[in-house]
C-alpha cells in the first residue's frame, strides 16, 4: 500500500515529472563570494591559463612558441594581472573590471604607429580569451540530471546551468508562477509547482510533480506514477491547428513573434513565425565570465540572426538585478525589484554595457537586429545608452571591425514611463512588459507567493494603462508591441486587440493558441 502524501500549490501548466528529490540550497542565503567574478577565481583562472599555455609551448613549433611565451609573460606580469584593480567595478566583478581595463590597454596597442606593436593587440586579446575560457568552465553547483529540485526557490542561473534533457522537475515551497524561473521552465517544458509551503522530504525520496494540477506527490506508489504518466499526451498543448501556419499574418497588420532566452530554443519554434520579439539576453549568461565575453555574446546573437534570416531579432540588453543576479552586482539591495535593475544597473556599471554594445553592434550587420532597453524610467537613460553605443561604434570603426547601429527601443514596464511615453521620442519602438508593469502597478512582487492573488488581479489596471499607452505611441508614430505574459492570455486577447495592439510576442509553446485566438477574433467565432 502507498504511503503517498499530496501537497497542493500552483503549477506552471507544463505536465508531469517523476524522480528522486534533490533538496537544493536557499537562493536567498547562499553566499555569492565564490562566484567566478571574484578576484580569487580570476587569479586561479590566470594560473590555469598559464599552465595550459606552458603545456602548449612544449609541443609547439618555434613561431607559435613565441606568441605563447609572450602571453605567459603578460599573464605573469603583476601590472597586467592587477590592471583592473583600480576600476570602479572591481569590487562587484573583478573579471569584468580586468577585461575592461585590458580593452583600453589593447586600444593603446592598436593606435600605435609601430606595426609590430599593433599586431601584439591580437595576442593580448587571445590571452584574455584563454582566461575567460577557463572561467567559463566554472558553473554553479549543479544537481543530478532527472531529479526533482526541491527548495524555497531556485535561481535562474542554477536553472540555466542544469541539463533538463534527462527530465526532472521543480517543487518550491515559495516562488511564483510569474517569476523568471517559472517562465524559463515553461519555455523548456519543465514541470514546476510553486507555493507548496514546507516540503518535508530528504534527498532521494521519490516525487511526482504535476505542473498542470499544481500538486506534488511525495513517495507515490509505482502504479500511481504509471497511471499519471499514461494520461499525458505529449506536446498536445503545443500542436498547431490543422491548416494554420503558426505566426503567419492573421489580419493585414497583426504580427506574431516569440520570446526566447537562448537560441537553442529556436529549434522548437514552428516554421512561419515572424521573428523574435524578445531575446532575454541575461539568460544567456551562466557565469560572471560570460558577462565579459564579447565573442561569446556575438556568436549567440549571430545564431539567432542566422535562424531569423530577414526577420527581426529583438535582443533585450541585460536585465540583471531584481530576481536575476549574476556577478555580484546586486550586492547591497534591500528591495532588488526597486533598485539597480535593467538599464539602471547597466548605466551604473558601464563596462558591462560596453561589452554587450560591442557584441550587438557587430551582430547588427548579420541581420535585422533591434535592441531593447529594460526597466527604462526616464529619458536620460535612453540618451546615455545611445551615447555609449555611439562611442563603441566609433571604436569599432577605428579598428575596421564591421558594425551597424541597430534600432533602439524600450520596454514599457515602469508605470511612470508608460504614463510619460510621449517624452521618449528618442527611441525607435516600444514593447509592453506586462509582467513587471503588473507588479509595479499593484505593488505586489511577481515572485512572492504571499501576494500572488493581488498580482493576479492586475488585469483591469493593466488594460486601462495599455489603452492609453498604445494611443500615445500611435500619436508619436512609433511601433508598439506586447511581450509580457498577458500577450499569451487567451481571455485578454480581444481586449488587447481593442486597445489597438497589433504585435504580440509570446513563448514558443503559446504561438499556436495565440494564432487560434486571433483567428477567432477575426471571424467573430
Ligand atoms: C515583462 O516584464 O513583461 C517582460 C517581458 O520582461 P521580464 O518578464 O523578463 O521581466
Ligand atoms: Mg520585465
Helix/strand/coil (H/E/C) assignment for every residue in 334-361: CCHHHCCCCHHHHHHCHHHHHHHHHHHH
Q: Give the Å distances, CA to CA, from 125 to 40, 50, 100, 106, 304.
A: 21, 15, 11, 8, 25
68 occurs within a structural domain = yes
161 occurs within a structural domain = yes
Q: Are residues 290 and 408 in the same domain?
A: yes
pLDDT at 60: 60
Grid cell 534527462 is found at: 166
Residue 147 has pLDDT above 90, yes or no: yes
Weakest mean pLDDT among 300-314, 390-404, 419-433: 390-404
Q: Are residues 64 and 182 in the same domain?
A: no
Q: Would the CB of 433 count as within 6 Å of ligand 1?
A: yes
Q: Are residues 220 and 336 in the same domain?
A: no
Ligand lying closest to the C-alpha of residue 431: 1
**How many domains, in total, are found in the chain?**
3
Domain containing 61 equals 39-136
Q: Give the Å distances, CA to CA, from 319 to 152, 261, 414, 430.
A: 23, 12, 13, 16
Q: 3-state class of 318 per DSSP?
A: coil
Residue 403 has pLDDT above 60, yes or no: yes
| CATH number for 192 | 3.50.30.10
| CATH number for 280 | 3.20.20.60
Q: Are residues 325 and 468 in the same domain?
A: yes
Which of the two residues, 375 and 180, has the higher pLDDT score?
A: 375
Ligand lying closest to the C-alpha of residue 324: 1
Q: Would the CB of 431 count as within 6 Å of ligand 1?
A: no
Domain boundary at 104, 136, 168, which? 136
Write out pLDDT tens, residues 453-500: 999 999 999 999 999 999 999 999 999 999 999 999 999 999 999 999
pLDDT at 248: 40
482 occurs within a structural domain = yes
Q: Are residues 211 and 240 in the same domain?
A: no
Ligand lying closest to the C-alpha of residue 278: 1
122 occurs within a structural domain = yes
Q: Are residues 183 and 72 in the same domain?
A: no
Q: Give the Å distances, CA to CA, from 68 to 64, 114, 133, 219.
A: 6, 21, 16, 57
pLDDT at 206: 95
Query: By alpha-carbon position, which residue is closest to atom 1 of ligand 1?
Result: 433
CA–CA dist 415, 377 (Å, integer): 8
pLDDT at 252: 60
Ligand 2 centroid to 424 CA: how many Å?
18
Ligand 1 centroid to 119 CA: how many Å?
44
Q: Would the CB of 436 count as within 6 Å of ligand 1?
A: yes
| Rounded average pLDDT over 343-364 | 95
User: Which sequence positions are flagged as catalytic?
Assistant: 180, 483
Using alpha carbons, select from 381, 384, 369, 386 the residue that is nearest to residue 413.
Answer: 381
Ligand 1 centroid to 455 CA: how many Å?
14
Query: By alpha-carbon position, which residue is closest to atom 6 of ligand 1?
Result: 433
* C-beta of residue 434 within 8 angstroms of C-beta of residue 183: no
C-alpha distance across the termini of the chain, in Å: 50
Give the DSSP H/E element, type plus range, for residue 21: strand 16-23
Amino acid at each position: 500500500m502507498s504511503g503517498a502524501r499530496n501537497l497542493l500549490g500552483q503549477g506552471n501548466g507544463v505536465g508531469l515529472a517523476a524522480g528522486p528529490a534533490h533538496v537544493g540550497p536557499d537562493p536567498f542565503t547562499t553566499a555569492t563570494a565564490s562566484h567566478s567574478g571574484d578576484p580569487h577565481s580570476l587569479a586561479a583562472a590566470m594560473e590555469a591559463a598559464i599552465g595550459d599555455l606552458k603545456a602548449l609551448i612544449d609541443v609547439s613549433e618555434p613561431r607559435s612558441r613565441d606568441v605563447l611565451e609572450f602571453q605567459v609573460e603578460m599573464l605573469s606580469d603583476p601590472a597586467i594581472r592587477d590592471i583592473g584593480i583600480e576600476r570602479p567595478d572591481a569590487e562587484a566583478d573583478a573579471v569584468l573590471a580586468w577585461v575592461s581595463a585590458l580593452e583600453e590597454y589593447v586600444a593603446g596597442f592598436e593606435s600605435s604607429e609601430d606595426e609590430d606593436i599593433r599586431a601584439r593587440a591580437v595576442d593580448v586579446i587571445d590571452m584574455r580569451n584563454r582566461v575567460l575560457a577557463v572561467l567559463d568552465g566554472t558553473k554553479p553547483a549543479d544537481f543530478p540530471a532527472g531529479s526533482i529540485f526541491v527548495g524555497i526557490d531556485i535561481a535562474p542561473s542554477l536553472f540555466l546551468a542544469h541539463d533538463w534533457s534527462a527530465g526532472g522537475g521543480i517543487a518550491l515551497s515559495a516562488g511564483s508562477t510569474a517569476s523568471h524561473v517559472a517562465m524559463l521552465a515553461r519555455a523548456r517544458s519543465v514541470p514546476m509547482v510553486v507555493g507548496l509551503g514546507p516540503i518535508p522530504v530528504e534527498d532521494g525520496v521519490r516525487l511526482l510533480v504535476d505542473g498542470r494540477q499544481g500538486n506534488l506527490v511525495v513517495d507515490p506508489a509505482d502504479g500511481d506514477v504509471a497511471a499519471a504518466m499514461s494520461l499525458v499526451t505529449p506536446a498536445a498543448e503545443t500542436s498547431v491547428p490543422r491548416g494554420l501556419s503558426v505566426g503567419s499574418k492573421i489580419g493585414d497588420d497583426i504580427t506574431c513573434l516569440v520570446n526566447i532566452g537562448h537560441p537553442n530554443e529556436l529549434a522548437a519554434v514552428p516554421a512561419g513565425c515572424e521573428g523574435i520579439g524578445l531575446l532575454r539576453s541575461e539568460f544567456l549568461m551562466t557565469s560572471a565570465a560570460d558577462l565579459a565575453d564579447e565573442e561569446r555574446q556575438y556568436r549567440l546573437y549571430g545564431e539567432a540572426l542566422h535562424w531569423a534570416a530577414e526577420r527581426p531579432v529583438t535582443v533585450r540588453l541585460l536585465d540583471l538585478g531584481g530576481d536575476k543576479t549574476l556577478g555580484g552586482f546586486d550586492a547591497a539591495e534591500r528591495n532588488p525589484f526597486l533598485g539597480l535593475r535593467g538599464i539602471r544597473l547597466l548605466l551604473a556599471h558601464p563596462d558591462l554595457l560596453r561589452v554587450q554594445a560591442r557584441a550587438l553592434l557587430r551582430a547588427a550587420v548579420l541581420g535585422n537586429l533591434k535592441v531593447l532597453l529594460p526597466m527604462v524610467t526616464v529619458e536620460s537613460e535612453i540618451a546615455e545608452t545611445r551615447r555609449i553605443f555611439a562611442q563603441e561604434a566609433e571604436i569599432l570603426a577605428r579598428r575596421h571591425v564591421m558594425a551597424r547601429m541597430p534600432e533602439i527601443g524600450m520596454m514599457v514596464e515602469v508605470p511612470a514611463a508608460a504614463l510619460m511615453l510621449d517624452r521618449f521620442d528618442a527611441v525607435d519602438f516600444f514593447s509592453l512588459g506586462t509582467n513587471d508593469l503588473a507588479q509595479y502597478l499593484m505593488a505586489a512582487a511577481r515572485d512572492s507567493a504571499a501576494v500572488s492573488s493581488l498580482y493576479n488581479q492586475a488585469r483591469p489596471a493593466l488594460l486601462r494603462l495599455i489603452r492609453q499607452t498604445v494611443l500615445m505611441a500611435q500619436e508619436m508614430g512609433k511601433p508598439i508591441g506586447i511581450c509580457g505574459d498577458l500577450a499569451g492570455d487567451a481571455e485578454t486577447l480581444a481586449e488587447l486587440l481593442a486597445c489597438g495592439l497589433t504585435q504580440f510576442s509570446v513563448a514558443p509553446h503559446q504561438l499556436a493558441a495565440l494564432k487560434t485566438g486571433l483567428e477567432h477574433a477575426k471571424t467573430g467565432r
